[in-house]
Structure 1
Amino acid sequence: MASAFGHFGRRSLKISSCLRKILQYDPYNIVHRSAYEFKLFHLNRELEASIPIQMPALSPTMTEGTIVKWHKKEGDTISPGDVLCDIQTDKAVVSLDTEEEGTLAKILKPENTKDVKIGSLIAVMVEEGDDWQNAEIPESSDSSSESSQSSESSQSSSSSDTESIREPTARIRMSPAARKLLEEYNISSPQVVPPSGPHGMINKGDVLKYAQSKNLSKIDLAKVKAAQPSAPSQKPAPPTQAAPPLTKAPPTITVSPEGGYQDIETTNMRRVIAKRLTESKTMIPHSYISIECNVDAAMKLRKKFIDSGTKVSMNDIIVKAAGYSLQRVPKVNSHWTQESVQVQPSVDISVAVATDNGLITPIVRDVSSISISQISNTTKALAVKAREGKLQPQEFQGGSFTISNLGMFGIGEFSAIINPPQTAVLAVGTSVLKPSTEGKPHPYLTVQMSYDSRAIDESEAAEFLEKFQSVMENPSLLMV
């Protein structure tokens, strides 16, 4: 082993000697530039040790979000599938999980941080076993591009400085002893210290050599820390407290000095709702058609379910009837695009649910193939999650048709706005007793469909409502 090491050392000396001779005859600075690029390659690899966590896009219309709650704290070990935090999007509060493994090093956006843009850095992870307390925070992409341009200009200006060029955006590696010496000698930036360790690491000897060259003297850190609380101009910072979840907090109300009006703060969700509804009403040619249904038989069917121990609502029967009708008139179960009308392969009905933050439409999937009791259980579970702000993106994104029911509020009839890219929405009111041809009063339900006349013809809309009326008045068809 000793002879092999000696042979390797002699070869290294020969290579170093050859390199020095080459550098003497390097008029175009080719070797210097290659060495600089090789060094940057290794520095960029050092950046991989810290794993950035960015604000994700959790819905198609999301541009920014709010950090509601962190489920992990700095120093916690993270495994794939762990929930890191809750983020309020423009539609719901969504839990952000990770597929990475490591340690949460720094939380850059604390709880209740609002208007965090997509792609912004919200936290940093390190690999398991790394020193998470000394993890370096990657700089933003804007500053990175500026610094890279400045490094390129400095590289081209002088070839003699290439050996001392250090990438400002790279993570600077240093030993714990070197970090302590930087504090003791009051060296504010480690970039001024020339490194001699592997991959640009700053060692204890590098800091001592730099301090001697600048005639720096040590300071007593213990005395400095002890003197800080007694300074009259400094006040101890109050302890930080976690803000309450955004979904629980009431909207901010500002009363004008004149007392003429009140300002209620607009949430991200409310702003997006306003934008989408405005676009829908402005860009989509809405047409309307309505029909009355005798729901006496449907109410009797509901009573049979309840008597058997299964609690279902009239809305569950309406959802099933809509799924039945959409199967038979598939053109209504569609999305509109500028190129074509896309008939959806399955009947996925969005059911409007009112929450404190606004209206949200969780989706009951594949309605045509599940029973009324399954629709009831799914709708109840989704409504609870919607009001608690715990819907997952796949539970409210998509859908092929929407039902909005205001019958429980005593509304007899109303018009709803289409939820693009869907082509229709069904507005359901309350049932009203009306005399029939026999003279006996029966409960009648009025439903009104808003449809996109670019995608659906009047005859197709009428056919859909005719199927819906038929199955609501003969609900035994739903049990087949």
Structure 2
Amino acid sequence: MEEGSRGVPLGTLIALMVEEGEDWKQVEVPPPTAPPAAPAAAVAASVAPPPAPAQPPPPLPPAVHTISSALLRLSPAARNILDSHGLDPRLATPTGRRGLITKEDALNLLKGTPSSGAAVPVAAPAAPPAYTPAAPPAYTPAPAGPPPAPGLRPNIPPLSIPGKPGAPGTFTDLPASNIRRIIAQRLTESKTTIPHAYASVDCDMEAVMKLRKDLAKEQVKVSVNDFVIKAAAVTLKEMPEVNVTWSGDGPLALDSIHISIAVATEKGLITPIIRDAADMGVQEISATAKALAQRARDGKLKPEEYQGGSFSISNLGMFGISGFSAVINPPQACILAVGGSRAELRPSADQQTLRTQQLMTVTLSSDGRLVDDALASRFLEKLRANLEKPQRMALV
């Protein structure tokens, strides 16, 4: 049955278990059966008043436990044992799931069978008593007390999960899209299998801000994130030892620099790829990023447009976030988390005066198996140099 199936009817075969070394294709699969309906007499007994006590009926003689041939289900090992000793499988007591006669059931029948081949009588189990649910206790609201004194915190009712109004402790089952399930699976895989290491640095964005204004005068509109993408790609070109991925046997060097950018959509986060970003200009990066982001929100991305990146960037600066740590996108080795720029007073180069700087915090999450702390620090140092002197990126 397909993974993630919902609304599976009772009695549907969802898996098949066989003994080690046995061929599952040779196992006899029973036809699907509908779940047995509750007898009308049992339902009536659960709501009808208890009858007057009567004389107990005479005890019934021991009955031989048998199984209907229509519901007979045997494992291959059990079938082999019963056939080898000429035993009737209907005399076995099944203990497997959904009435399956297992190897142990066949051995138990073999041990309890006399030499004459007669079946050992088994007493029929007594029927369980009918269950009558107890009425829920009546709810009595607590009496209202005096108002709290000034400066004191009033009593707060216990938190309940949103659900049916007036029913504390209930919840609402929200269906998850396929994209949301894949995101959850990949994030869990990343945090449980990749040893994350984190390092942060503040970058002076004054030169980038000035360059943006100069380009805007020439009707060229680019964002700060476009410069970050360019700087990350150029830094990876300068430090190819960071442009790696983890394979089953160890590090695997990548021969291309493809930057994945995180885009938030209604269905979840997706990472379209800007390919060969180190060879692009900032204006070309900007146009490509805008087109990919729009197709991502429209759900029109092709698989090759969001699969196969070598380095990821997640920018939350436009949401007022000053700094954060992102989760690595496997099988990549790193992801750069970008916060918003802020104005701060910092000492000047001569340490004699203070000047206002536009600082932006970036945090590198790296796979400790591939990028150790020293290598991550050198990467962030070069990245900061590329952002603080954007003209040098054209020389790399």
Q: Same fold (TM over 0.5)?
A: yes
Other structure's SS at 1:262 match: coil
Q: Distance in 1 between matches of 2:172 and 2:215?
A: 48
Equivalent position to 2:164, from 241, 256, 259: 256
AA aligned opposite 2:174 = I
User: How far does residue 255 in structure 1 lie from its aligned partner after superposition?
Assistant: 3.8
User: How far does residue 65 in structure 1 lie from its aligned partner after superposition?
Assistant: 11
- In 2, are the aligned partners of 1:361 and 1:396 still within 8 Å (CA)? yes
Residue-pair matches, total? 237
Q: Distance in 2 between matches of 1:470 and 1:437?
A: 18
AA aligned opposite 1:444 = L
AA aligned opposite 1:350 = S
> Which has a greater percent of strand?
1
1:479 aligns with 2:387: no
Per the alignment, residue 355 of structure 1 pairs with 265
Per mean C-alpha deviation after superposition, the further-off stretch among 299-308 and 285-294 is 299-308
User: How far does residue 264 in structure 1 lie from its aligned partner after superposition?
Assistant: 2.0
Deviation string for 1:224-273 (max 9, x for gaps)?
xxxxxxxxxxxxxxxxxxxxxxxxxxxxxx94362654332111111111
Equivalent position to 2:297, from 387, 410, 428: 387
AA aligned opposite 2:324 = F
Other structure's SS at 1:397 match: coil
Equivalent position to 1:364, from 249, 252, 274: 274
AA aligned opposite 1:365 = R
Per the alignment, residue 324 of structure 1 pairs with 234
Other structure's SS at 1:324 match: helix
Q: Distance in 1 between matches of 2:282 and 2:4?
A: 36
State TM-score, norm by structure 2.
0.57
1:418 aligns with 2:333: no
Q: Distance in 1 between matches of 2:213 and 2:3?
A: 46
Equivalent position to 1:340, from 236, 250, 255: 250
User: How far does residue 466 in structure 1 lie from its aligned partner after superposition?
Assistant: 0.5
Equivalent position to 1:271, from 166, 181, 205: 181
Equivalent position to 1:466, from 373, 378, 381: 381
Q: 1:65 to 1:317 in 2, by over 3 A?
A: farther
Within 5 Å, which residues of 2 pair with 1:187-266?
A: 255-256=163-164, 258=167, 260-266=170-176
1:288 aligns with 2:288: no
Q: Distance in 2 between matches of 1:407 and 1:255?
A: 34
Per the alignment, residue 356 of structure 2 pairs with 441
User: How far does residue 301 in structure 1 lie from its aligned partner after superposition?
Assistant: 1.1
Equivalent position to 2:367, from 435, 439, 452: 452
1:301 aligns with 2:172: no
Deviation string for 1:321-370 (max 9, x for gaps)?
00111011112111111212111111100000000000000000001111
- In 2, are the aligned partners of 1:312 and 1:376 still within 8 Å (CA)? yes
> Which has a greater percent of helix?
1
Within 5 Å, which residues of 2 pair with 1:150-189?
A: none
Other structure's SS at 2:327 match: coil
- In 2, are the aligned partners of 1:329 and 1:460 still within 8 Å (CA)? no
Per mean C-alpha deviation after superposition, the further-off stretch among 456-465 and 363-372 is 456-465
Other structure's SS at 2:256 match: coil
Per the alignment, residue 287 of structure 2 pairs with 377
Which residues of structure 2 form unaligned runs of 5+?
9-24, 27-161, 349-353
User: How far does residue 479 in structure 1 lie from its aligned partner after superposition?
Assistant: 3.2
AA aligned opposite 2:296 = A
Equivalent position to 1:406, from 293, 311, 316: 316
AA aligned opposite 2:364 = M
User: How far does residue 279 in structure 1 lie from its aligned partner after superposition?
Assistant: 1.0
- In 2, are the aligned partners of 1:435 and 1:442 still within 8 Å (CA)? yes
AA aligned opposite 2:360 = L
Q: Distance in 2 between matches of 1:256 and 1:287?
A: 43
Deviation string for 1:126-183 (max 9, x for gaps)?
xxxxxxxxxxxxxxxxxxx99xxxxxxxxxxxxxxxxxxxxxxxxxxxxxxxxxxxxx
Q: Distance in 2 between matches of 1:327 and 1:412?
A: 27
Q: Distance in 2 between matches of 1:449 and 1:409?
A: 19
Which residues of structure 1 form unaligned runs of 5+?
1-62, 67-113, 116-144, 147-253
User: How far does residue 64 in structure 1 lie from its aligned partner after superposition?
Assistant: 7.8
Q: Distance in 2 between matches of 1:64 and 1:323?
A: 38
User: How far does residue 286 in structure 1 lie from its aligned partner after superposition?
Assistant: 0.4
Other structure's SS at 1:417 match: coil
Q: Distance in 2 between matches of 1:299 and 1:284?
A: 36
